[in-house]
Amino acid sequence: MVRTSVAAVAAARLQRWHTDAMAPWRVRDFHADDLDAAVRLWDDRAASSEAPAFSLSDLIAAVRSQEPAVVAVVGEELAGVAVATVGGDRAWVMRISLAPAWRHRGIGSAMLRELERRLVAAGVHRIQCLLAGESDIGALALEHAGYTARQGMVFYERLEPVDPGSAGVLDVMLIAIAQLTCLLISALR
């Protein structure tokens, strides 16, 4: 007897009845000029998870450092963003965000498929995603894509305070900016 999961049946239906040719949206690479719209989407509680595992600064750092990321666009409007980070042969889907008006149209699943394609091409063999709960945005896309929820896990985190000694990078940047400002002022005189 062959057992078919509900997620597999739903994914088969989605693939049978939805084609990208019918879609008013398209999935493409994240571009630097998408950042402002992506930040607005990531800040929107209705578009992202209630308690995301990766912060806004983590997401910005990831896309700025060219980690794999895709967006869904409708015309010129950014409808969704999916971002991952890679370490060796393992990747974490950091967040799948989707504007509320564009949910339940297969966009999250399409972004995830495209992100997975990029990850596999980069040599990734294990793709993981940490969600705030089963009702979290992205859970349905993950289930449709064959991901398995690992029940009974608890996420622990410890935040270390930033002391003046660990702020060295910021100090270097501020000094460089001050020096450039002085040079520009001198050049303009």
- Which domains are seen in the chain, by residue range? 6-156 (3.40.630.30)
What kind and span of H or E run contains 57? helix 56-64
What kind and span of H or E run contains 163? none
Q: What is the pLDDT of residue 1?
A: 40
Which residues, 6 or more positions from 126, have their beta carbon under 8 angstroms from its beta carbon?
A: 89, 90, 91
Q: From 123, 110, 99, select the one nearest 46 (Cα to Cα).
A: 99
Q: State the DSSP code for 136.
A: S
Report CA-CA distances (Å) from 34 to 27, 58, 90, 118, 155.
13, 16, 26, 19, 31
Q: Residue 101: exposed, middle, or buried by beta-carbon count in 10 A (0-12, 13-18, 19+)?
A: exposed
Segment 96-129, tens digit of pLDDT: 888 988 888 889 889 999 999 999 999 999 999 8
Rounded Cα gap, residues 175 and 159, in angstroms:
27
Give the chain's mean pLDDT.
79
The most confident of the ranges 23-27, 61-65, 139-143 is 61-65
Rounded Cα gap, residues 118 and 68, in angstroms:
7
185: three-class secondary structure by DSSP: helix
Point out the least confidently predicted range of 26-30, 88-92, 135-139, 147-151.
135-139
Q: State the DSSP code for 162.
A: P
pLDDT higher at 173 or 119: 119
Q: What is the pLDDT of residue 72?
A: 96
- The CA R_g of the chain, rounded to the nearest whole Å, is 20
Query: Cβ distance 80 to 34 under 8 Å?
Result: no
